[in-house]
Amino acid sequence: MKKLIRVTTSDISLFLLLRGQLKYLNNHYEVIGLSADTGLLHKVEKREGIRVIELAMRRDISLSRDLLCLWHMIKIFKREKPFIVHANTPKGSLLAMMAALVTRVPHRIYTVTGLRYQGASGVGRFVLMSMERLTCLCANKVIPEGEGVKRTLIADGITRKPLKVIHNGNINGINTHYFSPEGRQTQREETRRRLGIEADEFAFVFIGRIVKDKGMDELAEAMNRLLRMNKKCKLMLVGWFEREQGSITEEHENFFRNNDSVSYVGYKKDVRPYLAAADALVFPSYREGFPRVVLEAGAMGLPSIVTDINGCNEIIVEGENGVIIPPRDKNSLYEAMLHFIDNPDKTTAMAANARRMIQEKYEHQDVVEALLEMYQGLEGNG
């Protein structure tokens, strides 16, 4: 059986983003997961039934550490002799495509998800764009995660290689059996009771890294404004404060941590209880590739407020399963949140469409079958 090595910078990506995919592909290839180990790598090994290899990688740039990591990766590829190396996180992908090229791996596949350079400027932007160009140059197949990413790669001159989105986009689709609102009324009531959310209060939920680029400053201001208007609403904040990509203001962090109308619960492996307890997802991010949380929310029957950016504007259809607003616009965010609260009939109608629209376009099984078909199309070439 031919070997397929899936490379991510951290095991968190293997654990969360590729759930079920690795197990499915392992029926057709000898799948090996390669990443840093933060404590989840061997859980991936057990859950997916694959072999894993630990390799120290970090998101931040360090020439000495990165060269050492590249050298170890080259040795691993020489030993394993994979038919395919497929990578999908920026740092891991750069190193993997370079190592795979050096070791003459026949098929070097790079799935482009979020483009980090979009949130940078000056020298930092130049470095990150150069890394993307080099990664694409070393790959012999580049897959944009969605149509928005594809347009950006072309517009910014990142690569001239042929670009084709797998299925309707997203790296793994969504398992709508796992993310389902069915039978969750009791969990909804228990979670709301535990967090002090009254039955007549509208509950928004945000899930993700709590950083500036996720629109968290705007969310704090919009939520504050709603509270000043005496609107009956609460915000559940599921994630973690991170400063690597730009911290939010101290005032807004204090608001999120201490305000009685905000329930900050930290990082959670299973976000379904909070989606079940919510009435809508609010996701005012500045940039994305193809955000999984919007798929999860839709599968759980939630309408979403998202920004007009890659991925979000492919999942959400204005007025049908959510609302699309301009990024970095606190007034538009406030108006959208207010609209959801003040127009329960429209919000309920969007919620009724949400799950169906995800099932029709992003079902996990359809995505992994399309990925397998792409892999099998390589069989006569190497």
User: What is the predicted pLDDT for the residue at 101?
Assistant: 98
- Contact predicate 297/178, CB 8 Å: no
Q: Averaged over 263-286, what is the pLDDT? A: 96
Q: Averaged over 199-225, what is the pLDDT? A: 96
Q: Averaged over 336-357, what is the pLDDT? A: 97
User: What is the predicted pLDDT for the residue at 114?
Assistant: 77
User: What is the predicted pLDDT for the residue at 117?
Assistant: 80
Q: Which two tokens stand for residue 142?
A: 């580049």
User: What is the predicted pLDDT for the residue at 279?
Assistant: 98
Confidence of residue 382 (pLDDT cuts 50, 70, 90): low
User: What is the predicted pLDDT for the residue at 381?
Assistant: 65
User: What is the predicted pLDDT for the residue at 60?
Assistant: 75
User: What is the predicted pLDDT for the residue at 36?
Assistant: 94
User: What is the predicted pLDDT for the residue at 116?
Assistant: 81
Q: Which two tokens stand for residue 193?
A: 């009771």
- Contact predicate 94/72, CB 8 Å: no
Q: Averaged over 265-285, what is the pLDDT? A: 96
H or E element at residue 13 = helix 11-16
Q: Which two tokens stand for residue 204?
A: 């928004």
CA distance linking residue 43 with residue 46, whole number of Å: 5
* Average pLDDT across the chain, whole number: 94
Q: Which two tokens stand for residue 158?
A: 């990142």
Between helix 344-362 and helix 364-376 the angle, nearest 10°, is 30
pLDDT digits (tens, 9 = 90+) for 87-97: 998 889 999 99
Considering the chain, what percentage of its residues have pLDDT values greater than 70? 98
Q: Averaged over 267-277, what is the pLDDT? A: 95
Confidence of residue 245 (pLDDT cuts 50, 70, 90): low
User: What is the predicted pLDDT for the residue at 304?
Assistant: 98
pLDDT digits (tens, 9 = 90+) for 129-162: 999 999 999 999 999 999 999 999 999 999 999 9
pLDDT digits (tens, 9 = 90+) for 21-52: 999 999 999 999 999 999 999 999 999 999 99
CA distance linking residue 233 with residue 227, whole number of Å: 8
User: What is the predicted pLDDT for the residue at 244?
Assistant: 59
Q: Averaged over 101-121, what is the pLDDT? A: 90
Q: Which region holds residue 328: left if phi is over 0, alpha if psi is between -120 and 50, else beta?
A: left
- Contact predicate 212/242, CB 8 Å: no
pLDDT digits (tens, 9 = 90+) for 289-311: 899 999 999 999 999 999 999 99
- How many other CB atoms are found less than 10 A from the CB of residue 268? 13
- How many other CB atoms are found less than 10 A from the CB of residue 29? 21
Q: Please tell me whether residue 39 adopts helix, strand or coil conformation.
A: coil
User: What is the predicted pLDDT for the residue at 348?
Assistant: 96
The percent of the chain in helix, strand and coil, each rounded to the nearest 5, is 45, 20, 35
- DSSP, residue by residue, 135-158: HHHH-SEEEESSHHHHHHHHHTT-
CA distance linking residue 268 with residue 104, whole number of Å: 40
Please count the residues of the chain: 382
